[in-house]
Amino acid sequence: MFYFDPTYIIILPALIFAMWASARVDSTFKKYERNYSFRGYTGAMAAREILNARGLYDVGIERVNGRLSDHYDPRTNVIRLSEAVYNSTSTAAIGVACHEAGHAMQYAENYFPIKFRALIIPMTNIGSTFGIWLFIIGLIFSFPMICFIGIILFSFTAIFQLATLPTEYNASKRALAAIEESGILNSEEQQGAKKVLSAAALTYVAALAVSLTQLLRLIVLFGGTRRRR
């Protein structure tokens, strides 16, 4: 049966890695959200500081519900910070907030990876929603072409994750450089922000690993059905 076959072993290591990465970012954030900055900047204040230093006065900053739901929305040019980040003066919160400001800097400077990622989002949404289902339908009814189309559509998920990696690492690099340049955190406090961002980056590595191994699994299954024909 499709849902119980040996090819699941292909994605199992990536799934374990993803669970570990998620737990690590949560535990790292919890550790450093208790370390408060000496200068007393909140996450929102820190983001505003480094945006203003780069002339990005038009970028808004809003508070949103949820834990670690922080993101930059290029459509509205707004950074949305979670409750654990917006008003917190912890080194963890400042690191996360400045990371999102890093994304705003990327859009302002037309950083290619983030522009490319935004460009393929429609195909990624289609691929992640319909790719697997098309593959299953093709497999059940022995239509190799439908299986192939499903694989192509799903591959956009892996491409999206691949484009996400340099985008996220670059945003963190920009954030840490801006924090140091502005003096928002001292050298010891910067280590906390760096560790939080490094842990968060692992979740994107894990997401790429999961999507690539899932893609590989589909290809293996597709090859198996063709050999049986």
- Using the 8-state DSSP alphabet, how is residue 54 labeled? T
Which one of the listed residues 33, 49, 83, 100 is annotated catalytic?
100
Respond yes or no: is residue 181 known to be catalytic.
Answer: no
pLDDT in tens, 149-192: 999 999 999 999 999 999 999 999 999 999 999 999 999 999 99
Q: Are 147 and 225 in contact (CB under 8 A)?
A: yes
Q: Is the pLDDT of residue 65 over 90?
A: yes
For residues 216 and 119, give the distance between their C-alpha atoms in angstroms, rounded to a whole number: 24
Counting other chains too, the contacts that 7-14 makes at CB distance below 8 Å and 24 or more residues apart are: 7/217, 7/220, 7/221, 8/217, 10/213, 10/216, 10/217, 10/220, 11/210, 11/213, 11/214, 11/217, 13/209, 13/213, 14/206, 14/209, 14/210, 14/212, 14/213, 14/214
Assign 223 a pLDDT band (cuts: 50, 70, 90): confident
Q: What are phi and psi of 38, to 5 degrees?
A: -65, -35
> What phi-psi label fits residue 81: left (phi over 0), alpha (psi between -120 and 50 degrees) or beta?
beta
Tens of pLDDT, residues 21-52: 999 999 999 999 999 999 999 999 999 999 99
Q: What are phi and psi of 176, to 5 degrees?
A: -65, -40
- Predicted confidence (pLDDT) per residue in 100-156, tens digit: 999 999 999 999 999 999 999 999 999 999 999 999 999 888 899 999 999 999 999
Q: Are 179 and 91 in contact (CB under 8 A)?
A: no
Q: Which of 144, 148, 163, 152 has the alpha carbon at shortest distance from 128?
A: 152
